[in-house]
Chain A
Amino acid sequence: MEAKQRDVFILAIESSCDETAAAVVRNGRDVRSNVISSQIDLHTLYGGVVPEIASRKHIEKINQVIEQALQEADCDLKDMDAIAVTYGPGLVGALLVGVAEAKAISFATGIPLIGVHHIEGHICANYIEHKELEPPFVSLVISGGHTHLVKVVDYGKYEILGRTRDDAAGEAFDKVARAVGLGYPGGPKIDMVSKKGNPEAIDFPRAKVRDGEFDFSFSGLKSAVLNYLNTEKMAGREIVTEDVAASFQKAVTDVLVEHSMNALETYGFKKFAIAGGVASNSAIRSSMKEACLKKGIDFYYPSPVYCTDNAAMIGVAGYYEFIQGKRSDLSLNAVPNLKLG
């Protein structure tokens, strides 16, 4: 008689940017708790994430967040099979808090430690609500720090098809939002005002990267928006913020959709998943959905709570690393520019 498979519990910790997060995940896809302590109000004062402040806040919150995650999951630390922690990419000072904390817990309890790639976490966020989703598929990770088009070959196996050459998609949203006076964080604010704007009002450029079919570039677009604002101001014409926001958002969306669809076609994939903070953007979601529908591609996206930085996604990624036998030792370090794949 086959033995009943034992449950696998992962305690996950994430502190790569400005969210202090911990989660408990059972058997890879069952999120038992997902605690996120956001610092956004604090960083809003400075118009963006201040690394030193982020690191200071992480250390103040981390134990409470972990304890709350265990409590909400109705679990004890000793029930955990592994501790998964984000070790890169991200802000080094911020990452170090989670990494040092996780290593100390692993050392004190003997529970195995697994270092997880932050972007892998974002991709794996899709597994939480789409139990049927399995590799292979193509994923687009778009956030304040990352823009990656990734071939998910298998669990834990990734090939990068394209990435941004300059600004991340979310960074472009932040910079443009600041320029039109919407403030920080730019993504949700542009999304909101764009609903009242005309996306065809201004023809902003859709950048192509000459030697990288699936690579992105958003700094030219950002400059075009700034130039437009400047020119209109000089000419004394009224600037319609809603139209600028909507037209900018459309330019970003068009490039993201086109590259993603081309990649799916080139590599013959029928499944596509978006991830990362910018994957919450309503225009990007609906355009992707429409394009996928046209091409007969299954489209997946996480709920906003799993798009933003969270630890549940790290627990999911950690689970697949765990069952493949991967372990990190106590010398695990934070790697701010960690590569995927």
Chain B
Amino acid sequence: MKILAIDSSGLVATVAVLEDNRMLAEYTINFKKTHSQTLVPMMNEIKEMIELDLNTIDAIAVAKGPGSFTGLRIGSATAKGLGLALKKPIISVPTLDALAFNLWGCERYICPMMDARREQVYTGVYHFSKGELIIDKEGCAIPVKELIEYINEQGKETVFLGDGVPVYKNALEEGLRVSFDYAPGHAAGQRAGALGVLALRYLKDGITESAADHKPDYLRLSQAERERAEKLGNKQS
């Protein structure tokens, strides 16, 4: 099974091609956030480097969210365009699960966090048990404070990663009462290779969707919808 994996949900833009248990190529940049300009040229470079015939791909894997709304859509629209043109399905992988997968085998708590603005983070809590990714806290958008409280309550040693870490480093260091650590640079951000390995597991289990049906899962309403819901809620109460 061969897949092309894409993640442009955060500050990192990353693309990889995997075939079964072999990663043929990965291109990851964490420089300026110009995913719209860089993502497809990155794929093109990989394609040429590994003489990839796109028609041999079985599915396209993409980070489905959470993440930057625009970043997610750049990744999703790219995946959907590929899916439409190549007539291949899409494997939607939760961004936070893929981030956690960077730390494969880690039995401590793994806590990926992405900056969700307004003092909130997109986060979840995971650990590995015998090579399997166990989800301890499902992906969600919550205040950093709430996350810190949760981790303190669990009382387990935790490793943090993701582009939310530098933003909320002070809050973590002030609030945490458990032993904790940060993932090293090569594993701290989104890696399409890790996303791709996880996607291959989904593919084996037949968990795919059509390119037409695929859409990001933002974990959050738009501001306008949120405000409207609040207004309607106030009227009712």
Contact = CB atoms under 8 A, between A and B. Distances in A.
A59 interface: yes
B92 to A, nearest CB: 12
Interface string A83-106: 000000000110011111111110
B44 interface: yes
Interface stretch (B95-103, B106-114, B210-218): B210-218
Contacts, number: 108
A60 B72 CA distance: 13
A81 to B, nearest CB: 15
Nearest to B216: A59
A318 B225 CA distance: 36
B127 interface: no
Contacts of B54: 108
Contacts of B76: 59
Contacts of B41: 329-331
A176 to B, nearest CB: 22
A62 B36 contact: no
Interface string B68-80: 0110011011111
B93 to A, nearest CB: 17
Contacts of A46: 224, 228
B83 interface: yes
Interface of B (DSSP majority class): helix
Interface in B37-90: 37-41, 43-44, 54, 69-70, 73-74, 76-86
Nearest to B223: A52
Contact of A107 (B43, B77, B80, B225): B43
Nearest to A56: B222
Interface residues of B, number: 35
A231 interface: no
A45 B211 CA distance: 29
A333 interface: yes
A334 interface: yes
A96 B70 contact: yes
B114 to A, nearest CB: 18
A334 B84 CA distance: 21
A53 interface: yes
A224 interface: no
Contacts of A103: 40, 78, 81
Given A104-B80, A109-B85, A331 B38 contact: yes
Given A104-B80, A104-B81, A59 B73 contact: yes
A9 to B, nearest CB: 15
Contact of B84 (A52, A58, A93, A105): A105
A63 B211 contact: yes
A261 interface: no
Nearest to B34: A333
A100 to B, nearest CB: 4
Given A53-B222, A107-B40, A100 B84 contact: no
B66 to A, nearest CB: 14
Contact of A97 (B73, B222, B228): B73
A46 B218 CA distance: 20
A66 B225 CA distance: 27
A3 B77 CA distance: 40
B77 A104 contact: yes
Contacts of B43: 107
A66 B84 contact: yes
A100 B44 CA distance: 14
A145 to B, nearest CB: 18
B85 A97 contact: no
B224 A64 contact: no
B211 to A, nearest CB: 6
B44 A107 contact: yes
Given A55-B69, A103-B81, 19 more contacts: A45-B228, A56-B215, A58-B73, A59-B215, A59-B216, A63-B80, A67-B84, A67-B212, A96-B70, A101-B77, A102-B81, A103-B40, A103-B78, A108-B85, A108-B86, A330-B40, A331-B37, A332-B37, A333-B34
Interface of B: 34, 36-41, 43-44, 54, 69-70, 73-74, 76-86, 211-212, 215-216, 218, 222-225, 228
26 contacts: A45-B228, A50-B224, A52-B223, A56-B69, A56-B73, A59-B73, A59-B80, A60-B215, A63-B212, A67-B84, A77-B84, A77-B85, A96-B70, A98-B77, A99-B77, A100-B81, A101-B77, A104-B79, A104-B82, A105-B81, A105-B85, A107-B82, A108-B54, A108-B82, A109-B85, A330-B40
Which 5 A-B pairs rank lowest in CB-CB distance, beginning with the nearest? A104-B81, A100-B77, A108-B85, A52-B222, A63-B212
